[in-house]
């Protein structure tokens, strides 16, 4: 068990490190000079030199990389070029929208997908199963940002129950509040969850069906357990392992989905931050946001690895 955890921890740290090298190297590949790109063609030599110094471009790449990662490890982030504040502060502010949105849609996804997937498996090849499968096939085909637009058309334009976008903030001083904030995140979360839940429901269904064919389930049924008791007592726990894997992989799509849906609903999250940064040629912000998003994906998959050990006690002894 300890060895299993240590191995996973090592992979986790290595992955994060490689990710930082890749992000740094890709943005380093920049043709020409970053300072020139930020300032445009009309910039004077003096202003380019000033920006270069500000960005630390007068230093060799390795030293800049070490300064960047060293700063991150000590909790210091570089100054954003366009905002003139540390990127850490900017990102922390935007995460107050992005994290609750991702969490809300993940929660919706899991609830809907597990319910639909287990229901479909228990009605295998009957009308309920066919219905869930058809609906999920449709859910997968609909791009989340288009579904988001449809939700706005229905609930904001036609029914006028929700606003078409924007975020009032969590604090009542800003004219927002907990309820107002949640209300603004509800439609975006639903839009994100529809696609994710469709994918996950299909996996849940096939994982449950797979386990239901196992000998130990037949034994449990032969012992006199009802179908329902066998399902809840034996099947689900075993079916959770592949489902957890898919959830981990889905998180990467959820993160990119969040970035897109934030644009649709004009939510001030990290997605909008990075698009404004691209428009402003603020490479410092792009670099730190991309690394943060990759890190979130890696961290979630690390947690999934840890959850395997909880769900499947066999891993504790055998895979060590």
Partner 1 sequence: MSFGSRARRHPSFVLGALLTALFAGAALLSLVWTPWPAAEIDIPNKLATPSAAHWLGTDSLGRDIGSQLLVGARTSILVGVVAVLIGLVAGMLLGALASARRGWVEEAVMRLSDFTFAFPALLSAIMLGAIYGPGLMTGIVAIGIFNIPVFARTTRAAANTVWAREYVLAARAAGAGPWRITLDHVLPNIASILIVQATVQFATAIIAEAALSYLGLGTQPPTPSWGRMLNEAQTQMFQAPQLAIYPGVAIALAVLGLNLMGDGLRDLLDPKLARRR
Which residues are near partner 1 by CB under 8 A?
15, 18-19, 22-23, 26-27, 29-31, 137-138, 140-143, 145-146, 149-150, 152-153, 157, 164, 206, 209, 249, 252-253, 255-256, 259-260, 263-264, 274-275, 277-278, 281, 283, 286, 290, 293-294, 297-298, 301
Instruction: Report the candidate in 237, 251, 264, 244 with the shortest Cα–Cα distance to residue 304.
Output: 244
Query: What six digits make up the tokens of 36?
Result: 């020139």
Q: Whose Cβ is closer to partner 1: residue 83's or residue 170's?
A: 83
Q: Whose Cβ is closer to partner 1: residue 78's or residue 290's?
A: 290
Q: Whose Cβ is closer to partner 1: residue 170's or residue 275's?
A: 275
Q: For the CB of residue 81, give the shortest distance to partner 1 in the complex, in Å.
A: 12
Query: Burial level of 95, CB count in 10 A (0-12/13-18/19+)?
Result: middle
Cβ neighbours of residue 260 closer than 8 Å, sequence gap 6 or more: 144, 145, 271
Query: Burial level of 74, CB count in 10 A (0-12/13-18/19+)?
Result: exposed
Q: For the CB of residue 230, give the shortest distance to partner 1 in the complex, in Å.
A: 20
Q: For the CB of residue 72, give the shortest distance to partner 1 in the complex, in Å.
A: 17
Other C-beta atoms closer than 10 Å to the C-beta of 253 total: 15
Dihedral pair phi/psi, residue 152, rounded to 5°: -65, -45
Instruction: Report the candidate in 132, 109, 110 with the shortest Cα–Cα distance to residue 121.
Output: 132
Q: For the CB of residue 274, give the shortest distance to partner 1 in the complex, in Å.
A: 6
Q: Whose Cβ is closer to partner 1: residue 249's or residue 309's?
A: 249
Find how far residue 296's CA is from the centre of its chain: 7
Instruction: Report the candidate in 95, 34, 42 with the shortest Cα–Cα distance to residue 296.
Output: 95
Q: For the CB of residue 173, give the shortest distance to partner 1 in the complex, in Å.
A: 31
Q: Whose Cβ is closer to partner 1: residue 15's or residue 225's?
A: 15
Q: For the CB of residue 101, give the shortest distance to partner 1 in the complex, in Å.
A: 16
Q: Whose Cβ is closer to partner 1: residue 56's or residue 313's?
A: 56
């Amino acid at each position: 068990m300890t060895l299993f955890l240590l191995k996973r921890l090592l992979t986790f740290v290595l992955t994060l490190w490689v990710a930082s090298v890749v992000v740094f190297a890709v943005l380093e590949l920049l043709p020409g000079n970053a300072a020139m790109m930020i300032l445009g063609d009309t910039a004077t030599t003096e202003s380019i030199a000033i920006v270069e110094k500000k960005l630390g471009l007068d230093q060799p790449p390795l030293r800049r990389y070490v300064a960047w990662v060293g700063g991150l490890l000590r909790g210091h982030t570089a100054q954003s070029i366009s905002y003139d504040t540390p990127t850490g502060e900017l990102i922390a502010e935007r995460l107050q929208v992005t994290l609750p949105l991702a969490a809300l849609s993940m929660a919706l996804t899991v609830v809907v997908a597990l319910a639909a997937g287990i229901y479909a498996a228990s009605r295998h090849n009957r009308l309920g199963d066919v219905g869930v499968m058809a609906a999920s096939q449709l859910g997968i085909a609909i791009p989340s940002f288009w579904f988001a637009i449809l939700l706005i058309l229905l609930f904001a334009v036609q029914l006028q129950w929700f606003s078409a976008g924007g975020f009032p903030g969590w604090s009542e001083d800003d004219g927002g509040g907990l309820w107002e904030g949640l209300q603004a995140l509800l439609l975006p979360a639903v839009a994100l969850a529809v696609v994710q839940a469709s994918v996950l429901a299909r996996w849940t269904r096939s994982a449950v069906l797979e386990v239901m064919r196992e000998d130990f389930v037949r034994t449990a049924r032969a012992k006199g357990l009802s179908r329902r008791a066998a399902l809840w007592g034996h099947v689900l726990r075993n079916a959770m392992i592949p489902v957890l894997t898919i959830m981990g992989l889905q998180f990467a799509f959820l993160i990119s989905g969040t970035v897109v849906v934030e644009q649709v609903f004009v939510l001030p999250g990290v997605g909008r931050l990075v698009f404004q940064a691209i428009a402003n040629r603020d490479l410092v912000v792009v670099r730190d946001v991309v690394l943060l998003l990759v890190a979130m994906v890696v961290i979630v998959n690390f947690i999934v690895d840890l959850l395997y050990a909880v769900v499947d006690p066999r891993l504790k002894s055998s895979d060590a």
